[in-house]
Structure 1
């Protein structure tokens, strides 16, 4: 069977996370979005994991995968996945004394290297990989030029691409040739514009958390889906103050200071990926579907100030009532059927599927945008 998975989210125990990020709200959100496998988020926080216990078996038929995120001593973030919550209890024991508290922080900062954390995760029987690997903050490629430089002799089990990269950004990096790519939301809100904004389709032999872990070990990722990288806040090299974009050559000539206002010029993910890919040959990867949250598409097509206007919400509800869930609309439903609900949204989805949208790349901390035609 094939199942759609979002394997990186957070709980209210992490910073800047909605108080509505609760198990029942997340499961409802999965139903609306079309997610069949969800990471718990913040699995090193014992109270949060206790809250998931009543929902391991649930009416939504969503598979719950224990998942957490750790920040290491170099500020690199790592995603950890397990088949059983007990493995995170074991991991907490292995990491005891390496951070201030596993109780007060959903995403703990531990005073260990990536290599040490990876060995501990594997000792507990869990999987580990860099979170949002290409993001220019708190990510592996923000601080290191290779997997071994970050993880030493420890093996990683996957790479999470993050919102500012798609599969093409890592396809020619030799370090990553044999490592599966995951695309997850890193959601801080249970609502459909955040939850599942990036997702994976995984081939499962058994519809269980153990089956999910086994599938990732085998690299049974059938499809990745997510934003166009150009929509990311740091896709292009740009000033972090005025957002003026520069070529890599120009940024170096200006010594990484914007000549217009003196702001810091931040290297973009696109330029960083090109650097890392030098000398490599792009390897084949599962298909990558470029998608946008349906609410954002509706807002754009309606020219609305927010996706939460009464009209936009009514249109969104009509799509869910007609087709069952959002991901089906974005990926699977024929455009002719979508057109019967809203012709302009159908045009946008057709353009997304065909790759004919016009992209206005982001950079320096400002999100990119898109338009049709």
Structure 2
């Protein structure tokens, strides 16, 4: 059975997360979006575990996978997936004394290496992999040049690409040849422009968390979907203050300081991936479908300041009432049927499906944009 999955989100216990990130709202958001498998986010937090407990089995048919993110001693972030919360409780006990408090933050910082975290995750039967691996902050490839440099002798079960990368960015990196790619939203809000903005299609044998983990172990991820990498806010090498973009060579010559305002120039994901791609030709990967959240498409086509204006929300509601969920509109519904609801949105989705949009790459912390 094919299932659409978003396996990395957060809870209100993490920094800069909406207070509306609650289990009921998240499940409702999944139905609207078309997500059939959702990570819980922040599963190491004891109070968040309790809030999810009544919803682990629900009447929506949505599979809930216990999931958390953790920061190691080197500031690298890791995603952990488990079959049940008991494994996260065991993991928390094993890390006792290595964290100031698991009760004060949803994404804890622990005084352990990536190797130690991976070993402990495997000890309790969980899966682990680098979060948003290519992002130039708090990510594996921000600080290390290889998987063994970060994880030592421990293995990883997947690699999360992040919003500024797609499968092509990791396909020629030998360390990743046998590692499944995941692409997830890392959502801090339950709204449709955030939740499920990146997702996976996974062939699962049974609709349970155990079934989802088994599928990932077997590499049964049949499709990844998400932003064009150029839309990511760290895609190109750029100044973190004025966002002026530079070639890698110019950034090196400038010693990573912007001559315009003295801001730090941050190496972009695109340049970083090229540095790491030593494997020559790209290793075969499942298809990566480039999508843009429907709310963002409507906002762009209407020329609105926000996807949450009254007009944009009314159009979004019309699409959901007509076609049941957003992912169906983005991927499956014929353009001719979309045109009956909103002709300009139909044009945009047609261009997205054919890959004929014009991209304006982001960098330095500023998101990229698109136009027709």
Residue 259 of structure 2 corresponds to which residue in structure 1? 259
- For the Cα contact (< 8 Å) 1:9–1:40, is it kept in 2? yes
**Aligned-pair CA distance for 1:281:** 2.5
Deviations 1:141-167 (A, max 9, x none): 000000000000000000000000000
Q: What displacement does 1:334 show?
A: 1.2
In the alignment, the residues of structure 2 paired with residue 320 and residue 135 of structure 1 have an alpha-carbon distance, to the nearest angstrom, of 33
C-alpha distance in 1 between matches for 2:153 and 2:287:
30
Instruction: Kindly state the Cα deviation for residue 279 of structure 1 after the two structures are TM-superposed.
Output: 4.1
In structure 1, what is the Cα distance between the partners aligned to 2:279 and 2:52?
Answer: 46
Q: Tell whether the 8 Å contact from 2:160 to 2:183 is kept in structure 1 after alignment.
A: yes
Superposition pairs for residues 71-110 of structure 1, below 5 Å?
71-110=71-110
- Return the alpha-carbon distance in structure 2 between the equivalents of residues 280 and 340 of structure 1: 46
Mapping of residues 215-294 of structure 1, within 5 Å:
215-294=215-294
CA distance in 2 between counterparts of 1:365 and 1:105 reads: 24
1:313 aligns with 2:306: no
SS of residue paired to 2:365: coil
Match of 1:61 in 2: 61
Name the residue aligned to 1:121: 121
Partner secondary structure for residue 261 of structure 1: coil
Deviations 1:167-188 (A, max 9, x none): 0000000000000000000001
CA distance in 2, matches of 1:80, 1:177: 20
In structure 2, what is the equivalent of residue 21 of structure 1?
A: 21
Aligned 1:136-151 pairs, distance under 5 A:
136-151=136-151
TM-score by length of 1: 0.99
RMSD: 0.7
Segment drifting more, 280-289 vs 344-353: 280-289
SS of structure 1 residue aligned to 2:202: strand
Q: Within 1, Cα distance between the matches of 2:320 and 2:24? A: 19
**For structure 1, which segment, 32-41 or 57-66, has the greater mean C-alpha deviation from structure 2 after superposition?**
57-66
CA contact (8 A) 2:17 2:188 kept: yes
Query: Offset of 1:137 from its aligned partner?
Result: 0.2
Regions of 4+ moved over 4 Å: none
Unaligned segments of structure 1, at least 5 residues: none
Task: Provide, for residues 193-214 of structure 1, a one-character-per-residue CA deviation record: whole Å limited to 9, x for no partner.
Answer: 1000000000011011100000
Q: Tell me how far 1:278 sits from its aligned partner.
A: 2.8
Q: Answer yes or no: is the 8 Å Cα contact 2:174–2:278 preserved in 1.
A: no
Is contact 2:233-2:367 (8 Å) kept? yes
Separation in 1 of the partners of 2:146 and 2:312? Answer: 44
Unaligned runs of 5+ in 2: none
Deviation of 1:280 (Å): 3.2
Question: CA contact under 8 A between 1:231 and 1:368: conserved in structure 2?
Answer: yes
Where 2:371 maps in the other structure, the secondary structure is: strand
1:312-334: per-residue Cα shift (whole Å, max 9, x none)? 11100000000000000011111
Contact 1:174 1:280 in 2 (8 A): no
- Which residue pairs with 2:207 in the alignment? 207
Residues 211-250 of structure 1 show CA distances to partners (whole Å, capped at 9, x for unaligned) of 0000000010011000011011110011111111111111
Determine the C-alpha separation between the residues in 2 that align with 1:255 and 1:265. 9
Query: Any conservation in 2 of the 1:42–1:69 contact (CA below 8 Å)?
Result: yes
The offset of 1:252, in angstroms, is: 0.9
The 10-residue stretch of structure 1 (70-79 or 262-271) with the greater mean CA deviation from structure 2: 262-271
Partner of 1:355: 355
The question of 1:198 aligning with 2:194 is answered: no
2: distance between equivalents of 1:281 and 1:109? Answer: 37
Distance in 2 between residues matched to 1:31 and 1:332, nearest whole Å: 16
Rounded to whole Å, the distance in 1 between the matches of 2:283 and 2:365 is 30
Aligned 8 A contact 1:4 1:200 in 2? yes
Is the 1:358–1:370 Cα contact (8 Å) retained in structure 2? Answer: yes
Q: Distance between the aligned counterparts of 1:243 and 1:306, measured in 2? A: 22
1:129-140 equivalent positions in 2, closer than 5 A? 129-140=129-140
What TM-score do you get using the length of structure 2 for normalisation? 0.99
Q: Secondary structure at the match of 2:289?
A: strand
Q: Is the 8 A contact 1:165 1:269 kept in 2?
A: yes
Instruction: Count how many residue pairs are aligned between Structure 1 and Structure 2.
Output: 372
CA distance in 2, matches of 1:229, 1:255: 25
Q: 1:132 touches 1:163 (CA, 8 Å); kept in 2?
A: yes
